Amino acid sequence: MTPAEKKEVVSLLKEKFSQYDNFYITNTESLTVAQVSKLRRVCFEKSVEMKVAKNTLIKKALDQLDADRFKGTYEALHGVTAIMFSANPKEPAMILSAFHKDTNGTRPEFKAAFIDGSVFIGPSQLDTLKTIKTKNELIGEVIGLLQSPASKLLGMLNGGNKLAGLVKALEERAGAQA
């Protein structure tokens, strides 16, 4: 690879790391060509971008952006590395878990994930990452919690209208009988 090509790869990686707050570091070395093609297809369908690059170029791109912020991911940069970029922090974990079921185990190998400033290292973290709530899910829960007291209040007020209507009907009936 020429120095110009390396510079271009580093520039592309910097752009992707800046664009996404979430990325996963995996090792796809043990996958067959057919499995890698299937993984790429699934990633495309789920709006997950997958890039394969040399570890030194990945580290260089991360260093140029913010070495301290990404420091925790450096220990995962060994072997063949594929990076999965996603706006949804849960989606790559779901894809990798599905592939683990298909391959009866650990392929592709999950090395690490960087999710909104937090680093998750090792295969044991994959189950945790599958349960992470997305920003939209959290917002939905908060809105639901905020609406709950208001809907109860409206229900009580509507019940009060029924009670007032019943009292008025009884009054009118009593007035008609008198």
34 and 102 inside one domain: yes
Both 94 and 9 in one domain: the answer is: yes
Q: How is the beta sheet containing 81-85 ordered, strand by strand? A: 49-53, 81-85, 22-27, 109-115, 118-121
Q: How confident is the model at residue 107 (pLDDT cuts 50, 70, 90)?
A: confident
Distance (Å, whole) CA 93 – CA 89: 8
Q: If you count DSSP H runs as helices and E runs as strands, how many of each does the chain have, helices first?
A: 6, 5
Beta-carbon contacts of residue 134 (< 8 Å; ≥ 6 apart): 88, 89, 90
15 vs 9: CA distance, rounded Å? 10
Please check the confidence at residue 168 and state whether its pLDDT lies above 80.
no
Distance of CA 140 to the CA centre of its chain: 15
**The model's pTM:** 0.74
**What's the token pair of residue 167?**
């009292």
Same domain (yes/no): 118, 140:
no
Q: Are residues 29 and 107 in the same domain?
A: yes
Helix H or strand E encompassing 59: helix 55-70
- In terms of residue numbers, what domain contains 77? 3-132
**Using 50, 70 and 90 to split pLDDT, how confident is the model at 82?**
very high
Q: How many domains does the chain have?
A: 2
